[in-house]
């Protein structure tokens, strides 16, 4: 049996050094847990990864929790999860503190001017990669297209995910005539939320909701953040959102620590703590509750179809928000060139995201404008 100290040491180190996003995190965990330490077999590790993919939340963080639970029970789950999250959250919090003090300085503005189009390219590649694994049938393609239409019509993103999941179940059961009724009910149920002054409890609740319903890539987080904090409440600008995503990319550990940055912008250290707790708390609960059940979930045709539909809806959200945020990041010929070059560098040359953002920052520093 692995000790809690051993778990803490491993996941503190991974949380502090694992750059590159969820795919890189998973590869590093596999190397440490399966190859080096032999804590798990390759099959058991893949089962844990599948389990993490079947529930909402940050997949690589949930994988760490699954590893911790298998090695040291419920306490191991908590230790592994917390230790993987905390180093990145602290780094992001420190960067947020610097950002709030120096963001208006012209040189800093030029740096982010060059980074933002790189972020757009990174998200575009993530959309393409997710699309290749999600759009495997005519049905999932049609569901994703329906999701895009609903989002363009102003439908609440949670309702879009619910309808996409329901449509997949309908198609799987062979009763596609219900498609129209579901879409109509989604439109009828959409209602814009009223703007509200900042409230720490509301912010915590929004991040708690996001952590509890977000399926798919961590980049789907963009859609929820933009819908809640930019459009409905007006607490952030699109520029600040892009900056938050950039900070989440250049730091190691979970991409969801973007929430830490936003929380700090809105309410300082207390806001950073509340946002971090809110977005990660559901993952701890879901892993604890579903661990005994996950092996049965994909065996149910309806449950599998529901998950496929939700993934298609998540893809639609990523495409929709990518298009909207591109307007803020790609503002002239130089930023267009940075985005296109970054896209080619990622897709063809497989250049690391952090290196690309460093290059974008350098271009912005020397030849850009804030």
Residues 267, 243: Cα–Cα separation, whole Å: 17
Distance (Å, rounded) from C-alpha 141 to C-alpha 11? 38
CA atoms of 308 and 122, how far apart (whole Å)? 23
The CA–CA distances, whole Å, from 321 to 9, 106, 209, 305 equal: 37, 27, 19, 25
pLDDT of 217: 59
* pLDDT computed for residue 313 by the predictor: 82
pLDDT of residue 194: 52
Q: 208: part of which helix (H) or strand (E)?
A: helix 200-213
pLDDT, residue 322, reads: 82
Each residue's pLDDT tens digit in the chain (370 positions)? 678 999 999 999 999 888 667 766 887 888 889 888 999 888 778 778 767 877 888 888 999 999 999 899 999 999 999 999 999 999 999 999 998 887 665 667 788 788 888 878 877 887 787 687 778 788 888 998 998 999 888 887 778 888 888 888 888 776 554 445 444 444 444 444 455 689 999 999 999 999 998 876 566 788 889 889 998 899 999 888 988 888 887 788 888 999 999 999 999 999 999 999 999 999 999 999 887 775 566 567 777 787 778 778 877 877 887 888 788 788 889 999 999 999 899 888 878 777 888 898 899 888 765 5
Residue 29 neighbours by CB under 8 Å, 6+ apart:
14, 45, 60, 63, 64, 67
pLDDT at 184: 44
pTM, two decimals, is 0.72
Residues 223, 314: Cα–Cα separation, whole Å: 9
Q: Which of 339, 363, 346 minimizes the C-alpha distance to 242?
A: 339
């Amino acid at each position: 049996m692995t000790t809690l100290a051993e778990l803490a040491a491993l996941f503190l180190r991974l949380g502090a050094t694992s750059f590159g996003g969820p795919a890189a995190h998973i590869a590093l965990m596999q190397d440490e847990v399966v190859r080096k330490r032999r804590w798990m077999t390759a099959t058991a590790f893949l089962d844990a990864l599948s389990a993490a993919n079947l529930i909402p939340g940050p997949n690589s963080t949930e994988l760490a929790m699954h590893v911790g639970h298998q090695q040291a029970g419920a306490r191991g789950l908590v230790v592994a999860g917390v230790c993987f999250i905390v180093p990145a959250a602290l780094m992001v919090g420190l960067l947020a503190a610097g950002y709030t003090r120096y963001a208006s300085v012209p040189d800093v503005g030029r740096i982010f001017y060059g980074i933002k189009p790189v972020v757009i390219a990174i998200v575009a590649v993530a959309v393409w990669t997710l699309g290749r694994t999600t759009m495997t049938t005519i049905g999932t393609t049609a569901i994703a297209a329906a999701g895009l239409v609903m989002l363009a019509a102003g439908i609440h993103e949670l309702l879009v995910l619910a309808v996409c999941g329901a449509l997949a179940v309908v198609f799987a059961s062979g009763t596609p005539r219900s498609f129209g009724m579901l879409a109509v009910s989604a439109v009828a149920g959409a209602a814009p939320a009223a703007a509200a002054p900042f409230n720490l409890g509301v912010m915590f609740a929004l991040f708690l909701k996001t952590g509890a319903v977000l399926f798919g890539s961590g980049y789907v987080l963009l859609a929820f953040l933009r819908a809640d904090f930019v459009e409905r409440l007006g607490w952030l600008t699109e520029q600040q959102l892009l900056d938050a995503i950039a900070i989440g990319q250049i730091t190691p550990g979970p991409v969801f620590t973007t929430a830490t940055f936003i929380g700090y912008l809105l309410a300082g250290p207390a806001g950073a703590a509340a946002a971090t707790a809110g977005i990660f708390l559901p993952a701890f609960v879901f892993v604890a509750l579903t661990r005994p059940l996950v092996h049965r979930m994909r065996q149910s045709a309806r449950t599998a179809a529901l998950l496929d539909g939700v993934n298609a809806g998540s893809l639609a959200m990523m495409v929709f928000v990518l298009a909207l945020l591109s307007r803020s990041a790609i503002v002239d010929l130089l930023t267009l060139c940075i985005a296109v070059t970054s896209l080619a560098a990622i897709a063809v040359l497989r250049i690391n995201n952090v290196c690309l953002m460093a290059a974008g920052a350098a271009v912005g520093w020397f030849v850009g404008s804030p």
